[in-house]
Amino acid sequence: MSVGVLRTRLRNGLEVRLKEIHTAPLISSWVWYRVGSRNERPGITGVSHLVEHMQFKGTPRFPAGILDKAISRDGGYWNAMTWLDWTAYYETMPAGSIDLALRLEADRMVRSLFDVGEFESERTVVVSERQGDENEPTFRLAEEVQAAAFRVHPYDHEVIGHMADLETMTREDLFHHYHTYYVPGNAVLAIAGDFQSRPMLARIRELFGNLPSRRRAPGPPIPAEPEQRGEKRVVVEGPGETPYLDIAYHVPGGAHDDFFALSVLDSALAGASSLNLFGVGISNKTSRLYRALVERELAASVGGGLAATIDPYLYSIQATVRPDHTPEQTLQAYDDEVARLLDHPVSAEEVAKAIKQARALFAYGSESITNQAFWLGYSEIFADYAWFESYLERITRVTPAEVHAAALKYLIPSNRVVGIYRPSGDRAHA
């Protein structure tokens, strides 16, 4: 049931989702393309993210540097994101100014220039972005864990791509990727905010309806990751004095029934994660892992991360190890705690707490029109909007037995990759 959401598909294949929200004079418009690092192969890793950058470099009608000023002039905000499964572009504008966003999104869906000079300049920017990521020990570790977890499926690399590919990809590689995936039939236009749906839809038909309905060329098939048979370990050495642990388990995608039990498991084990794109979550000091690792002084912090993806991805636990302990000691305490969880299932109280937390985080997220529009599109990528609408209800139905079953199924050593960051101990010097 989609109360108040207009959903339709234009003749050229563009999916449209409109949700009226009249609490503030704002509109948030998102275009989602079903393309991300999942659609990349060796040699062009990072191409989806580079294409996203080039989408800000102009069309004949909106030359580079015009767009950002035009949006800002009206007091709007815009950005874009590339992830495993998708690339999304959004503008949140005062309601009276949204037409500009619609015009430019329709235009850059098919008419971006990909100027060679702009591309070479942007290549340097993205190389610099990756160098910034590499400054973080947690990025270096997560990248190796991800690579170890996937040897067949293209979830094997970071969205930003390998440095070697960033240095060698060509403008033609990018343009080919753009031409393949940026077609109306591979996109969802999701708009939420202070508008009337009928006139908004009419305007969308005018602007997007005549874009060519080229079918998306079938990309290379995406192979399923075979079941992992046995624990894997990776060790990363690098600068700093702080060790880290990153423990990742293979888990199913967002549309799978187990996702809700896993969400409750994550709350009990590591603290409720906010699924919202904007705004912060809540503390996790009463979670099992905080008590086992931080209160017992084996870690300075611990957290979990579960993401709604198309294909099976990873549930990961990250801990900042205290320098007076080795990562192996902290891992042992972690394993003991997980063993306790498997022996003593989560209680009805823990499940009730997770449900209340989910309800609160859901309410916090609904304050923002941008976040509402985010869910309107994002849920369509891995499931559909009904997934989001029924989210609280499905979380509420999760039982302790289901949580226990999920723990027994997924939190087992043969299903995980253990990553350890071992710092070299170099001190900074002036």
Partner 1 sequence: MPEPRPGFPKLDIRSLPGPETIRRRVLPNGLTILARENFSSPSVILTGSLMVGALDESPARGGLADLTASGLMRGTASRTFEKIYESIESLGAGLSFGAGTHSTSFRGKSLAEDLRVLLVLAAEVLRSPTFPKSQMARLRAEKLTALSIRDQDTGSVAQLTFDELLYGDHPYSLPSDGSRETVSSLTADAARAFHRHTYGPRGMLLAVVGAVRADDALDAVEVAFGDWRNPKQPTQPGIPPVAGLPRIVRRDRSLPGKSQSDVVIGGIGPSRYDPDYLTAALANSILGRFGLMGRLGDVVRASAGLAYSVASSLSGGPGPGPWQVMAGVAPANVERAIDLIRQEIRRFVEGGVSSQELRDNQANFIGRLPLQMESNEGVAAALVNMERFRLGLDFYQRYPDLVASITREQVLATSRRFLEPDLMAIAVAGPAGAEG
Quote the Cα angle for 180-216-203, to 5°: 100
Using an 8 Å Cβ cutoff, are 270 and 346 in contact? no
Of 229 and 428, CB closest to partner 1 = 428
Using an 8 Å Cβ cutoff, are 372 and 22 in contact? no
Task: List the one residue from 99, 206, 241, 328 that touches partner 1 (CB under 8 A).
Answer: 241
Of 251 and 354, CB closest to partner 1 = 354
Task: List the one residue from 115, 173, 258, 367 that touches partner 1 (CB under 8 A).
Answer: 367
**At its nearest, how many Å lie between partner 1 and the CB of residue 278?**
9
Determine how many CB atoms are found less than 10 A away from the CB of residue 107: 18
Sign of the alpha-carbon torsion through 166, 171, 176, 179: positive
Window of 38-46, 94-102, 209-217, 336-344 that interacts with partner 1 by CB under 8 A: 94-102
Q: Closest by alpha carbon to 55, among 102, 103, 99, 113?
A: 113
- List the x/- string, 138-177, binding to partner 1 by CB under 8 A: ----------------------------------------
Of 309 and 368, CB closest to partner 1 = 368
**At its nearest, how many Å lie between partner 1 and the CB of residue 334?**
17
Which residues, 384 to 423, sit near partner 1 by CB under 8 A? none
Which residues, 264 to 303, sit near partner 1 by CB under 8 A? 271-272, 279-286, 294-295, 297, 300-301
Residue 239 contacts partner 1 per CB under 8 A: yes
DSSP string, 105-163: HHHHHH-----HHHHHHHHHHHHHHHHHHHTSHHHHHHHHHHHHH-SSSGGGS-TT--H
Determine how many CB atoms are found less than 10 A away from the CB of residue 322: 18
**What value does the CA radius of gyration of the chain take, rounded to a whole number of Å?**
23
Window of 41-49, 211-219, 233-241, 331-339 that interacts with partner 1 by CB under 8 A: 233-241
Task: List the one residue from 152, 363, 401, 408 that touches partner 1 (CB under 8 A).
Answer: 363
**At its nearest, how many Å lie between partner 1 and the CB of residue 51?**
16
**At its nearest, how many Å lie between partner 1 and the CB of residue 40?**
20
d(CA 220, CA 54) in angstroms, rounded, equals: 23
Of 71 and 159, CB closest to partner 1 = 71
- List the x/- string, 7-26, binding to partner 1 by CB under 8 A: ----------------xxxx
Of 169 and 294, CB closest to partner 1 = 294
Cα dihedral 25, 31, 37, 41, rounded to 10, equals -170
Of 154 and 193, CB closest to partner 1 = 193
Show the tokens assigned to 71.
Answer: 């949006």
Which residues, 196 to 225, sit near partner 1 by CB under 8 A? none
Using an 8 Å Cβ cutoff, are 366 and 388 in contact? no
Of 181 and 244, CB closest to partner 1 = 244
Which residues, 61 to 90, sit near partner 1 by CB under 8 A? 64-65, 68-69, 71-77
Using an 8 Å Cβ cutoff, are 25 and 95 in contact? yes
